[in-house]
Amino acid sequence: MEKINASSILRPDAPERLRSLFDACGMKKADSKKAASGKAFSENSVSGNAISGKDFSGVALLTSPEGPVFSYACGYENLTYGIENRLDTAFDTASITKLFTAAGIVLLESRGMLGLEERIHSILDLGGTQIPEDVKLVHLLTHTSGIADDADEESGEDYSALFVDTPNYSFRQNRDFLKNFVHKKPNFKPGEQIRYNNCAFILLGLAIEKLTGKDYRTFITEEIFRPFGMMNSFFAAKEETGRRFAEGYFYGEDGSLKKNIYSFPPIGTADSGAYTTAEDLDRFWRYVNDSPVFHKMLLPHTERKREQGEYRYTVGLGAELLERDGKIFRAWKEGSNDGVCNITVFYPEAGLTFTILGNVDANVWRLHAEAERQMFCGR
């Protein structure tokens, strides 16, 4: 891919514009008492229709190949004790974890242990389930498998509702999720369309465990995080005390802030829940982009596309993609749960990465869209 200089597409005053934007919505020290009390901040905020108010708690990092362009940290990794977020704070990434799972599959392919066109039934014993025999690994990686999900979020189902009658702490291993989706009827035939699917990555995690003989979290830590230089990325249970990470907070029905300790499983699996930092996500994107093994993650792996104005939406391996003029303008992944709101983006032509990680419910996707408009020339 032909590279362009990052300075040629970034506005000269991009850092100042971004700082003004985040200053307008970031939680400040003066808000600590209100935050600790659990009271909501502003109806006119990033969690609502406008980008203002003071309820964004998290970090942001924009980097070029030469280094950081803009960084920001605000709010609290622990509201009760007033411990502030820092650029090196580790955040629950939710579905950004799928990028790491995809990287694990690509690594095993490079070692000849599997093929992307291989059927998942050839690796896992899924007899007696509703998982179609012709679902391939590439279908699972690109959200084109058609299999049912545990919570169909595209249809508006609430993921946290899964844990109302079944305790969230009973889901700690990939295999624990099988009962929630393998006996549901598929939505469509493999490859027919793109439909976001969490549990496809549960199957990929189980495939990693079956082929390597290692626990998923151990494999990703040893084979992805450490070789990629992601030394501040890890898996940890919410009840652990030996790790420093941001607690998550969401707005309850009464408008007050609640801890998300009952909203989803207490430790990450192949679809969600790894902890990482904005700096480590920059390292991840750059390693993937520069690697002859992993670069394929940034390329389309399905013929299915959706028109979005001047762009075409499609999917790589774990990453979502926007094409413009036949080139990949943006590769990205989002992550969202109660008290978890993230987006991490790579702009291949300019070699830019931009990550926003949040630990209080806020519309960081709208925030990112405005940031993108503010920092790029001609937008």
Distance of CA 140 to the CA centre of its chain: 16
- As a whole number of angstroms, the distance between CA 309 and CA 325 comes to 12
Residue 10 lies in a domain: yes
Strands 306-308 and 257-259: unpaired
Which residues lie below 8 Å from residue 302, measured CB to CB, with a gap of 6+?
A: 138, 142, 144, 191, 194, 314, 315
The verdict on residue 325 lying in a domain is yes
Domain for residue 261, yes or no? no
Contact of 190 with 135, CB cutoff 8 Å: yes
DSSP 29: G
Give the span between the Cα atoms of 200 and 272, in whole angstroms: 12
| Whether the model pTM is above 0.85 | yes
Extract the tokens encoding 310: 């001047």
| Assigned domain for 103 exists | no
CA distance 76 to 33: 11
Q: Is the dihedral of CA 364, 366, 367, 368 positive or negative?
A: positive
Q: What are phi and psi of 360, to 5 degrees?
A: -130, 135
Regions of the chain where pLDDT drops below 50: 40-53
| Domain enclosing residue 312, as ranges | 6-80+273-375
Within a domain: 21: yes
In a domain? residue 371 = yes
The candidate with the shortest Cα–Cα distance to 329, out of 348, 344, 314, is: 348
The answer to whether residues 72 and 56 touch, using CB atoms and an 8 Å cutoff, is no
Residues 6+ apart with CB under 8 A from 256: 37, 38, 39, 40
Number of separate domains in the chain: 1
**Domain assignment of residue 209, yes or no:** no
In a domain, 367, yes or no: yes
- d(CA 62, CA 374) in angstroms, rounded, equals 13
**Pick from 41, 18, 19: which is nearest to 30 by CA?**
41
Q: Which is nearest to 98 in space by CA: 284, 317, 329, 258?
A: 317
Nearest to 206 by CA among 233, 237, 181, 170: 181
Nearest to 144 by CA among 317, 271, 311: 317
Contact assessment for residue 317 and residue 142, using Cβ atoms and an 8 Å cutoff = yes
Distances (CA, A) of 41 to 35, 51, 138, 181: 8, 13, 43, 38
Placement of tokens 């939406």 in the chain = 313
Contacts of residue 188, defined as CB under 8 A and 6 or more positions apart, other chains included, come to 146, 195
Angle at 38 between CA 36 and CA 40, to 5 degrees: 120
DSSP, res 356: E
Q: What is the pLDDT of residue 95?
A: 96
Comparing CA positions, the residue from 213, 233, 216 lying closest to residue 225 is 233
pLDDT tens per residue across span 285-314: 999 999 999 999 999 999 998 888 889 999
